Structure 1
Amino acid sequence: MVALIRYQLAAVVHGQRYVAPLLFFGIVLTVFTVNDGGLLTNTYVVSASTLLISMCWLTVTIVNHEDPVRRSIQSVTAGGAGRVLAAEMLLALLSGVVLLGFGLAFPILLGQHRWGGADLAAGALAQLNCAVTGIAIGVVCSRLVVPRPGWSLLLALVVVIAVPLIPGLPPVNPVLTMMSGTRPAAEMLPTLTVHLAVSILVAAGCVALTRHVASRHD
């Protein structure tokens, strides 16, 4: 599996389509967090919501980087289409963890905040929640489920915008709403953990659905 992830990483890097979602993440983070003050948890709302969009975009890029013919050849070589999809999802998750690290550190280094361990933990949970949800949206909006690029892009835009904006819709909107308030970070941690568990379950269901639909297309 490690070799397969390395192959996927090399292929995505060679294609350079990853640049756009990474630039989006960096630009938005810079614009909205440099010289920012106030509660650090409020600033992490920007990091988390930006990571949601970036990970959706990056996941679609990772899954769609090879055409169907080359993907079929890779599936045979790797021992099955399921292994290829698993490697892509692990690569997306690893990418999300790297971006999460930047999202945690950037506001602290370039902003003006008082912070502690609870603030970092809350920010990490919120961003991981959004990263996992973004991966879930991205995989069901990929070519494996929606073969037409135009419809795939439209579906991804609608879902990734609706998920954080619909009031009370778990797991993203309640997290961003709570992080936007003034509650101490330590009090948020249990609720954030529950919502992260929900996002993991949603992502697992989306990956399973994608695998099922892709197998029927094959």
Structure 2
Amino acid sequence: MTALLRYQSGLLLRSQRWLAPLLLYAAFIGVGVQAGEPVLGALGFTAAALLPVSAWTVRICLTQEPPAARGVVAAAAGRGRAHLAALLTGAAWPVLVGTVAVLAVTAIGDRRGVTALAAATAGLLGALACALTGAAVGALASRPFLRAPGWSLAALVLGSLLALVTTGSPAKHAMTALVTGARTATADPPWLACGGALLLAAATAALACRSTARLE
């Protein structure tokens, strides 16, 4: 699996397709986060903005290989393992970017009533919940479920929006916890949301890998 992860990461970095979602995330943060505003509210926005970026990155990783190369990798490692490596790569890079963003926002935000450690912990858990939820959206909005680029993109946008506003979504739960904490000056780490997002991402990955082995 390590070799597959290196292969997928190399493809992503060399293709420079990661640049568009990264710039989108930077634009979200630059417009939506201001120095000196309540840190928990800023972290809520930082986490929420990571969801569509994660979904987009996962979709990029699932579609970046030429069909011939995908067939060779599938023959060598198995379709399920190859698909899982692409999913893990697409989910890992947004988590890394989100971690850097959370630490930066924690440093410049107004932490009155909240310690830096508590704010960073809540922000990191919120970002992880949103990134994993976005990864699940990206997995469902790409191959093997949707192969047409137009339908895939439409599902990606709609799924990201629903994941942010639907009651019961781990991402919405995490974002709400951070925004509510900003009003009460209480950092309540969204452990439940993070656990739910992890289960959702794991179930979606298992479904996608099994479907890939059958449908492709």
Aligned to 1:150: 150
What percentage of residue pairs aligned between the two structures are identical? 26
- 5+ residue gaps, structure 1, are none
Structure 1, 82-91 or 115-124: larger mean CA deviation? 82-91
Aligned to 1:202: 200
Q: Give aligned pairs, total.
A: 212
**Structure 1, residues 79-127: CA drift from partner, whole Å, max 9, x if none?**
2112212222222232123112222122234444444211111001100
Alignment of 1:81-120 (within 5 A): 81-114=79-112, 115-120=115-120
Aligned to 1:140: 140
Aligned to 1:193: 191
Provide TM-score, normalisation by structure 2: 0.91
Aligned to 1:46: 45
Cα distance, 1:212–1:174 mapped onto 2, change above 3 Å: same
Aligned to 1:215: 213
- 5+ residue gaps, structure 2, are none
Aligned to 1:23: 23
Provide the alpha-carbon RMSD of the alignment.
1.7
Counterpart-to-counterpart distance in 1, 2:121 and 2:106: 14
3-state SS, counterpart of residue 147 of structure 1: coil
Q: 2:83·2:212 contact (CA, 8 Å) conserved in 1?
A: no
Counterpart-to-counterpart distance in 1, 2:34 and 2:107: 9
Q: 1:97·1:128 contact (CA, 8 Å) conserved in 2?
A: yes
Cα distance, 1:144–1:153 mapped onto 2, change above 3 Å: same
**Structure 1, residues 183-213: CA drift from partner, whole Å, max 9, x if none?**
4444x22xx1111111111111111221232
3-state SS, counterpart of residue 17 of structure 1: coil
Counterpart-to-counterpart distance in 1, 2:133 and 2:36: 26
**Structure 1, residues 136-163: CA drift from partner, whole Å, max 9, x if none?**
1111111221011111111111110111
Cα distance, 1:179–1:108 mapped onto 2, change above 3 Å: closer
Aligned to 1:68: 67
Counterpart-to-counterpart distance in 1, 2:200 and 2:107: 33
Q: 2:80·2:212 contact (CA, 8 Å) conserved in 1?
A: no
Residue 165 of structure 1 aligns with an amino acid whose one-letter code is V
Aligned to 1:124: 124
Segments ≥4 residues shifted beyond 3 Å: 108-115, 183-186
Counterpart-to-counterpart distance in 1, 2:120 and 2:147: 40
